[in-house]
């Protein structure tokens, strides 16, 4: 009778202490598990497994989770029931019943992240929780010239935050783009890859903005791959501009 549900969710990360459950903190995982277990009414606690963690303040357009539910229910009813119980800053956008072999974390083969940078002179109060902020003039053509150096398989040791527990820093980036949204006065980055290290996207964005400002040479990524030194990448773009856009499965 137990069925495995694959749930795609979107959330505003502003008032969450990240995805993963933490003691005495409001997290995405904890509000999901509270809703699922309220529906189940069983003694056995249902754990929700995510495709990966997002940090405090990071948003998601397409985070994926799975859990095993002990009662008969259609995918559509699961979507409706969860959305009736979840807070307004988290919504289920898709619900599917999947084979028991599916695992939100271990069967993924890639993710896509989006990063929004506001270029207003002062921090926009209506964007402060949803964009990074960079007031300096940026030559987007310089960033476009640097992006081919991002794509491919590289050792990203210079682009991983010091708190990371991961020993292997080699990752493959399939796709990296940048565009300017004139109507919003924003620069929009997107990165797709087989996996990302702790704060990797936010550090890469900070480096690319410095390249666009002329504070670094265009091909500085190639040097940073070689030196494997986090301090030489310097800044980390704010969590507020980062969105987990999509998680890829076979």
CA separation, residue 27 to residues 7, 68, 80, 219 (Å): 17, 20, 21, 39
CA 151 to chain centre: 18
CA distance linking residue 238 with residue 216, whole number of Å: 20
CA distance linking residue 74 with residue 132, whole number of Å: 40
Q: Which of 55, 68, 124, 155 is catalytic?
A: 55
CA distance linking residue 36 with residue 96, whole number of Å: 15
Question: What are 129's two structure tokens?
Answer: 């929780």
Residue 17's Cβ-side half-sphere holds a number of Cα atoms within 13 Å equal to: 10
Matching residue, tokens 């559509």? 76
Residue pair 186/180 in contact (Cβ under 8 Å)? The answer is yes
CA distance linking residue 155 with residue 126, whole number of Å: 37
Judge whether 43 counts as a catalytic residue.
Answer: no
CB atoms near residue 226 (< 10 Å): 11
For the chain, what is the radius of gyration of the CA atoms? Answer: 19
113 is in an annotated binding site: yes
Q: Annotated binding site for substrate, which residues?
A: 113
The residues annotated with a catalytic role in the active site are: 55
Q: Annotated binding site, which residues?
A: 113
């Amino acid at each position: 009778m137990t069925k495995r549900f694959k749930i795609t969710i979107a959330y505003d990360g502003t008032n969450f202490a990240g995805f993963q459950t933490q003691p005495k903190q409001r997290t995405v995982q904890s509000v999901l598990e509270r809703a699922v277990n309220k529906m189940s009414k069983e003694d056995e606690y249902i754990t929700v497994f995510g495709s990966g963690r997002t940090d405090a303040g990071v948003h998601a357009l397409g985070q994926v989770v799975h859990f095993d539910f002990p009662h008969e229910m259609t995918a559509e009813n699961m979507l409706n029931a969860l959305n009736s119980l979840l807070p307004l800053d988290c919504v289920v956008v898709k619900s599917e019943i999947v084979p028991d072999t599916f695992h939100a974390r271990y069967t993924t083969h890639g993710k896509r992240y989006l990063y929004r940078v506001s270029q207003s002179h002062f921090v926009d109060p209506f964007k402060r929780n949803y964009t990074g902020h960079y007031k300096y003039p940026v030559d987007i053509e310089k960033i476009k010239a640097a992006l081919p150096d991002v794509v491919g398989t590289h050792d990203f040791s210079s682009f991983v935050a010091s708190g990371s527990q991961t020993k292997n820093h080699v990752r493959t980036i399939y796709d990296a783009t940048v565009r300017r949204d004139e109507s919003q006065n924003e620069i929009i980055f997107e990165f797709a890859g087989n996996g990302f290290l702790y704060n990797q996207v936010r550090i890469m964005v900070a480096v690319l903005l410095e390249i666009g400002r002329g504070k670094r040479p265009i091909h500085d990524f190639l040097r940073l791959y070689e030196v494997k030194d986090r301090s030489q990448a310097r800044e980390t773009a704010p969590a507020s501009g980062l969105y987990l856009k999509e998680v890829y499965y076979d």
